[in-house]
Structure 1
Amino acid sequence: MAIKKLAFMASGSGTNFENIVREIHSGRLQAQASVLLCDKPGAGVLDRARRLGVPAALIDRKDFASKAEFEDALTKRIESAEADFIVLAGYMRILSADFVRRFWGRILNIHPSLLPAFPGAHGIRDAYEAGAAVTGVTVHFVDTGVDTGPIILQQSVPRLPEDTLETLETRVHAAEYELYPRALQLLAAGQVRIPPRA
Structure 2
Amino acid sequence: MLKLVVLISGTGSNLRALLESLDQHSALDQHSTPINARVVAIGADTEQANLALADEFGIPSFVIKPRDYENRAEWGDALLDRIQSYEPDLTVLSGFMRLVPPRVVDVLSPELLNTHPAFLPEFPGAHAVRDALAAGATETGATMMIVDNGVDTGPIIEQHRIPIHPDDTEATLHERIKVVERQLLIDTVRRIADGTINLKEIAA
Task: Compute the TM-score of the two structures, normalised by the length of structure 1.
Answer: 0.92
1:79-158 alignment runs, 5 A limit: 79-158=84-163
How many residues align? The count is 195
Q: Displaced runs of 4+ in structure 1, greater than 4 A?
A: none
* Helix, strand or coil at the partner of 2:104: helix
* Helix, strand or coil at the partner of 1:175: helix
Partner of 2:14: 16
Partner of 2:46: 40
Partner of 2:172: 167
Which ranges of structure 2 fall in alignment gaps of 5 or more residues? Answer: none
Q: Whole-Å Cα distance in 2 between the matches of residues 42 and 120 of structure 1?
A: 22
Change (3 A) 1:184 1:62: same
1:176 aligns with 2:174: no
Q: Whole-Å Cα distance in 2 between the matches of residues 23 and 5 of structure 1?
A: 14
Which ranges of structure 1 fall in alignment gaps of 5 or more residues? Answer: none
Which residue of 183, 190, 204 maps to 1:185?
A: 190
Q: Which amino acid aligns with 2:4?
A: L
Report the RMSD for the aligned CA atoms in angstroms. 1.7
Deviations 1:91-121 (A, max 9, x none): 1111111211111211000000000000000
> Could you tell me how far 1:193 is from its partner in structure 2?
2.8
Task: Compute the TM-score of the two structures, normalised by the length of structure 2.
Answer: 0.89
> Could you tell me how far 1:129 is from its partner in structure 2?
1.5
> Do the aligned partners of 1:9 and 1:91 also contact (CA within 8 Å) in 2?
yes
> Do the aligned partners of 1:88 and 1:109 also contact (CA within 8 Å) in 2?
yes
* Helix, strand or coil at the partner of 1:148: coil
